[in-house]
């Protein structure tokens, strides 16, 4: 019979995302509900290595459901990539009598958790928290919805100035390997073109499309560019190329950058974080390990970390067609 889980650890790792606090709160409150101790580690794996922890009870997480960032802070830990680093983390967890860890983060965090569990036999459950939404096994990761709303609000503002001055704006949004933010915010904000890593539109087609828009009477345009788009070397080069080839356009660039990670989580992200995290605690209490929780078709499900890491969360190609139709 599996050993009874008496103490659960929780941490946030990798890039922070809005809703991580709601996730921490839900882990802590679910532990309290099920009469299980909860301990938080600061700065992800680095805090586990350094033994930087705090005992958490239901009252420790009051008034954080609405806050962006993470009260446990986040980090990328080079030391955890080494066997020695992971061994130090395992020693600290054993000293703290932690029976299982809940890891809130992205695919790197889950990869680390998988290695750690295999080497040291500590049960881990992953909760997907990343604005990029590039995790297989869940339709949505915590923070993605809030990031989309932030981007749409920013593009709405850019559109005001674009139309006042008849300008073409290239707006770079986050997403090095995945175009989820660009594609969905682009449709939501009514962008004329959306450039994503999954679909190489090509420079010629971009120029043709912009020319078509101009001839159709559009005096200003928004092009949403995912960080990882492969057309140009970067968004500035892309804008220069368009300026050279379409001198009628007054092209400008806005890089939205880190504002996309910040801000109060949307209601959707708070509810998602709450549902996923309660499930994560229940799985550990049930003796389960090496799983990731996710939301599929509005149901909370789980799959092995291995499957989550090997699978690919693809963009919905239908959205590309929608974008093309709507930019007519
Ligand atoms: P985001 O999607 O926001 O970037 P992430 O969880 O993917 O989040 P990473 O920086 O890739 O962020 O990973 C977080 C941490 O996980 C790393 O800093 C490292 O400490 C650990 N990690 C990643 N990959 C491994 C691995 N193969 N072995 C051990 N630890 C790893």
Q: Contact 313/136 with Cβ under 8 angstroms?
A: yes
Q: Please state the length of the chain.
A: 328
Any alpha helices (H) in the chain, and if so which ranges?
20-33, 45-50, 83-95, 107-120, 144-165, 180-188, 203-215, 235-245, 267-285, 305-310, 317-326
How far does residue 108's CA lie from ligand 1's centre (Å)? 3
Task: Using the structure block, give the residue that is written with the tokens 């559109």.
Answer: 159
Concatenate the DSSP letters of all residues of 39-84 into one string: EEETTTHHHHHHT-EEEE-GGGGTT-TT-SS-TT-----SGGGSHH
Please tell me the distance between residue 78's alpha carbon and the centre of ligand 1 in angstroms.
9
Domain 7-143+265-310 identical in fold to domain 144-261 = yes
Index of the ligand 1 atom closest to the CA of residue 78:
20
- Domain 144-261 sits in CATH at 3.40.50.460
Q: Whose CA is nearest to atom 22 of ligand 1?
A: 112
**Would you kindly state where each structural domain of the chain is located, as residue ranges?**
7-143+265-310, 144-261
Relative to the CA of 107, which ligand 1 atom is closest?
Answer: 7
306 catalytic residue (yes or no): no
- Give the Å distance between the CA of 47 and the centre of ligand 1: 14
Q: Check: CATH 3.40.50.450 for 7-143+265-310?
A: yes
Residue linked to tokens 């994560």? 280
- Closest-CA residue, ligand 1 atom 17, reads 76
The protein residue whose alpha carbon is closest to atom 6 in ligand 1 is 106
pLDDT tens-place values along the chain, 328 residues long: 567 899 999 999 999 999 999 999 999 999 999 999 999 999 999 999 999 999 999 999 999 999 999 999 999 999 999 999 999 999 999 999 999 999 999 999 999 999 999 999 999 999 999 999 999 999 999 999 999 999 999 999 999 988 888 789 999 999 988 999 999 999 999 999 999 999 887 888 889 988 888 888 887 789 999 998 777 678 999 999 999 998 888 899 999 999 999 999 999 999 999 999 999 999 999 999 999 999 999 999 999 999 999 999 999 989 999 998 998 8
d(CA 137, CA 311): 8
Pocket test for ligand 1, best of 109, 118, 136, 177 (most atoms within 8 A of CB): 109
């Amino acid at each position: 019979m599996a050993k009874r889980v008496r103490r659960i650890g929780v941490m946030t790792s990798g890039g922070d995302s809005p809703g991580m606090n709601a996730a921490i709160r839900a882990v802590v409150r679910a532990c309290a509900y099920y009469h299980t101790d909860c301990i938080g580690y600061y700065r992800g794996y680095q805090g586990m290595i350094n033994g930087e922890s705090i005992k958490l009870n239901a009252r420790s997480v009051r008034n954080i459901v609405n806050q962006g960032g993470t009260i446990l802070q986040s980090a990328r830990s080079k030391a955890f990539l080494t066997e020695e680093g992971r061994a130090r983390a395992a020693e600290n967890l054993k000293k703290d009598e932690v029976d299982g860890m809940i890891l809130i983060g992205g695919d790197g965090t889950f990869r680390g958790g998988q290695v750690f569990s295999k080497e040291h036999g500590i049960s881990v459950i992953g909760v997907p928290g990343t604005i990029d939404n590039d995790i297989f096994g869940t339709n949505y990761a915590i923070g993605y919805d809030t990031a989309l709303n932030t981007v749409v609000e920013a593009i709405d503002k850019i559109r005001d100035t674009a139309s006042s001055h008849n300008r073409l704006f290239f707006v770079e949004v986050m997403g090095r390997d995945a175009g989820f933010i660009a594609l969905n915010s682009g449709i939501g904000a009514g962008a004329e073109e959306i450039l994503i890593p999954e679909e190489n539109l090509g420079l010629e087609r971009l120029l043709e499309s912009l020319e078509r828009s101009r001839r159709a009477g559009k005096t200003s345009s928004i092009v949403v560019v995912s960080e990882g788009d492969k057309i140009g070397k970067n968004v500035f080069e892309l804008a220069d190329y368009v300026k050279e080839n379409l001198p009628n356009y007054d092209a400008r660039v806005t890089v939205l950058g880190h504002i996309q990670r910040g801000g109060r989580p949307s209601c959707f992200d708070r509810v998602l974080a709450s549902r996923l995290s309660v499930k994560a605690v229940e799985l550990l209490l049930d003796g389960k390990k090496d799983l990731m929780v996710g939301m599929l078709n509005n149901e909370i499900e789980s799959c092995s970390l291995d499957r989550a890491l090997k699978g690919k969360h693809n963009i919905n190609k239908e959205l590309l067609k929608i974008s093309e139709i709507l930019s007519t």
